[in-house]
Structure 1
Amino acid sequence: MAVIEHALLPVRPGMEAAFEAAFAEARPLIEASPGFLGIAIHRPLESGAAYLLLARWRSVADHRDGFRMSDRYRRWRALLHPFYDPVPEVNYFGEDI
């Protein structure tokens, strides 16, 4: 069973274009991670709303103990976290019921 990582990404107002460019640069970092199955990021339709990130992993451990403990994550964080206010909260979900 795959795991869905869910995060709302509160990008600072006025920084959306720069965030999207940074995300395009960061995307290969997560895609190269063992256990990674796919990612989708959705733009907000309302001003000031957060982006929605949905990533699929083989397991929570692949994300939390694999990617988040890697050098790839340190680079991901350096590229993307300056855009967030506050830092996003990550939740995990199982597949459809």
Structure 2
Amino acid sequence: MILEAVMLQVKQGMEEEYEEVFQEASKIISSMPGYIVHELQRCMEVKGKYLLLVKWETLADHTIGFRQSKEYQEWKKQLHHFYDPFPTVEHFENVPL
């Protein structure tokens, strides 16, 4: 399992609309092969800042399966115009303790 982590900055004044659209767009990502679960967190200190966490079975499920799909094009269409600057996506793996 891998964890995709994305820090998102939503344009000022668009936060409420973003949250509504994100809820609808969540149906897209949750339908993808290899998807496990996701959550969107709102920053308490910085208005418009969000943290998106998505768990995938494999890195390829995200980078190839989702990112190269027609569903991703719809995800982009619905969400990407809200971001400034455009977010950086990072992937993490669990460290056994």
Name structure 2 gaps, 5 residues minimum. none
Q: Name 1:54's counterpart in structure 2.
A: 53
Q: TM-score, normalised by structure 1?
A: 0.94
Judging by fraction of residues, say which structure has more strand. 2
> Offset of 1:33 from its aligned partner?
0.3
Task: State yes or no: 1:87 paired with 2:81.
Answer: no
Q: TM-score, normalised by structure 2?
A: 0.94
> Offset of 1:96 from its aligned partner?
4.4
Equivalent residues in 2 for 1:65-80, closer than 5 Å = 65-80=64-79
Moved over 4 A (4+): none
> Which amino acid in the other structure matches residue 23 of structure 2?
A
Q: What is the RMSD of the two structures over their aligned residues, measured on CA atoms?
A: 1.1
Identity rate, percent: 40
Aligned residues: 96
- Distance in 1 (CA, whole Å) between partners of 2:67 and 2:46 is 30
Equivalent residues in 2 for 1:1-97, closer than 5 Å = 2-48=1-47, 50-97=49-96
